[in-house]
Amino acid sequence: MKIFALLSLVSRVTAIWPAPQSFSNGSSAVWLAEDFLVTYNNHNLHKRTEETRSTRISSLEIVQAAVDRARKSIFTESFVPWKFYPRNEIDKFEPPANGKSKTYIRQLEITQTTPDNSATFKPLAGQVDETYNLTIGADGVASITAVSSTGVLHALETFKQLFYLHSVSGTAGVYCNLAPVNIRDGPKFGHRGVNLDVARNWFPKETILRTIDALSWNKFNRFHIHMTDAQSWPIDIPALPELSKKGAYQTGLSYTPQDIEDIQVYGIYRGVEVIIEIDIPGHTTAIGFSHPELITAFREKLWHNYCGEPPCGQLKLNSTAVYDFITQLFDDLLPRVSPYSAYFHTGGDEIDARDYVLDETVKSNDTAVLTPLIQKFIDHSHDLVRKAGLAPIVWEEMLLDWNLKLGDDVVVQTWINSASLDKVTARGHKALFGSNDFWYLACGHGQWFNFNDDTFAAHYPFNDFCSPLKNWRLMYSYDPTANLSAKQAALVLGGEVHLFTERSDPSNLDAIMWPRTGAAGEVMWSGRQDSSGKNRGQVDAARRLSDMRERMVIRGVKCEPIQMAYCTQYDGDCTW
């Protein structure tokens, strides 16, 4: 019993998610004055109206917008934390509502110690110093220091999480009862991302933007959009308008160049770099709706013989027309992407050799024939990526299955299982982790095929390939670099959580993604181990993640609950 009591005490110290690298608190209450002044270096950031906002990429605009969001969030989206205290006892933990000598925070002083540079808003992994310090004195003096504006953004997310709504005072009363608070913080990994497949189901721009918001609250800094796949082509390419006109699920269900720019800029304003993937040469069936001549094994009826999932189809491998197509596509898209991103993902997963037997430009499935052709194709694609000033990312098969020679600038993204990271880094390549044994959000939702009388019995009870569901506790237990040498670990830029969307669309996106993805976010920001080297525990994490979940729900992201309210009220009772 004593241990549980101690743990529950410890767990109440902070509800910050992801956990800061260093945190200390007192137990004084400070209230936030509604008209609190924010200074940013020598600027006063007053409360602004909607109309005066800009989307120019400048440190001042970005910080000012983040301060606007923080004000709104704290005063209109804070919650009374009744779920986190024994029932009907919250008043014992809250500061008195009408104390005569309430201490107010009247000013938040933000100091950015070095100016941002051209890499700040489209960094390679590790190029931006994201660290920050945050202090709130018992006297109400509050300050943030950070090296970059990105660090300021993270600090403001933490700041928002320090306040609760008072059960009696109502909206006028938001308090922090942990002063003095001292936080020193910074991320373990420089690339902390989510990969969302927007090709298997259609996701309107608003859904994408909401997801970027949620990522920024959890201190993610990358949003990888798996833009195209076999099933649909939801992006307009002005040089090739027929692609989305015929390849989107419905004409109009596609992102315009303006949408793409809006999404990227929206991300930059939140410290989230948007990385676009056009998956080639496999997973390209959707191109065949407008350009059947470029695709081999297009919608082959006996799909088992040509791909892992229908519809089959790959770009032909030794075709001048395909090369011209890629050049046209990339020369249109990449210069529009590169002002706002350092990376471009060229895919490269699950190339099915069998398709090339049907490809009249190849007529072979022989690895010895195919490998040089794939090498040439990737070299061509990556030259175009580099010409646009971008660094290529590829899926692991390019290196591990096809043994291609990839440039030193190429980042290899693993997905097949957690052992792939060892293999990629052993070969000296920069790598991203996140695999279907820990971080695939789609797992466990069951099969999407329809089984007929012949196949019903063999597939009963219709589990999907990576069942069971990866619950947040499992995702939180993933220690990606655990088995790597120091030399290998140094090549790991970070990782991504994956959502391939055969079974999801905007209706269930939030619940599938959150708060589980937050658990992965803490692994990437705080690290699997705490500062004493111990693996972070679920008891502490559950309460903090539940607190974060409440904040996300109020802000409009419909996260699942992680426990019964009983467990957060009496958290010792729910420990096994």
Residues at the site binding ligand NAG, with contacts judged by CB under 6 A: 9, 12-13, 25-27, 113, 131-133, 145-147, 178, 184, 318, 353, 361-362, 365, 367, 369, 373, 418-419, 479-480, 482-483
221: helix, strand or coil: coil
Considering the complex, what minimum distance in angstroms separates the CB of residue 458 from ligand NAG? 23
Helix, strand, coil distribution of the chain in percent, nearest 5: 35, 20, 45
Count the helices and strands in the chain (H runs, E runs): 18, 19
Give whichever of 2 and 56 is closer to ligand NAG, judged by the CB atom. 2
Q: Distance between CA 467 and CA 443 in Å, rounded?
A: 5
Considering the complex, what minimum distance in angstroms separates the CB of residue 554 from ligand NAG? 22
Considering the complex, what minimum distance in angstroms separates the CB of residue 287 from ligand NAG? 20
Give whichever of 6 and 168 is closer to ligand NAG, judged by the CB atom. 6
Amino acid at 372: P
293 is catalytic: no
Q: Distance between CA 348 and CA 392 in Å, rounded?
A: 11
How many C-beta neighbours within 10 Å does residue 73 have?
A: 20
Of the candidates 94, 273, 350, 396, the residue annotated as catalytic is 350
Cis status of the peptide bond prior to 461, with omega within 30 of 0:
yes
Considering the complex, what minimum distance in angstroms separates the CB of residue 363 from ligand NAG? 7
Q: List Cα–Cα distances, 474 to 369, 445, 469, 509, in angstroms.
A: 42, 16, 9, 20
Give whichever of 173 and 234 is closer to ligand NAG, judged by the CB atom. 173
Q: Distance between CA 36 and CA 43 in Å, rounded?
A: 14
Q: Distance between CA 207 and CA 25 in Å, rounded?
A: 37
Considering the complex, what minimum distance in angstroms separates the CB of residue 267 from ligand NAG? 23
Beta partners for residue 496, in sequence order = 193
Considering the complex, what minimum distance in angstroms separates the CB of residue 212 from ligand NAG? 25
Give whichever of 161 and 254 is closer to ligand NAG, judged by the CB atom. 161
Tokens of residue 358, six digits: 């049907």
Give whichever of 131 and 501 is closer to ligand NAG, judged by the CB atom. 131
Cis status of the peptide bond prior to 468, with omega within 30 of 0:
yes
Q: Distance between CA 193 and CA 466 in Å, rounded?
A: 21
Give whichever of 249 and 323 is closer to ligand NAG, judged by the CB atom. 323
Sign of the Cα torsion 156, 162, 164, 169 reads negative
The catalytic residues are 350
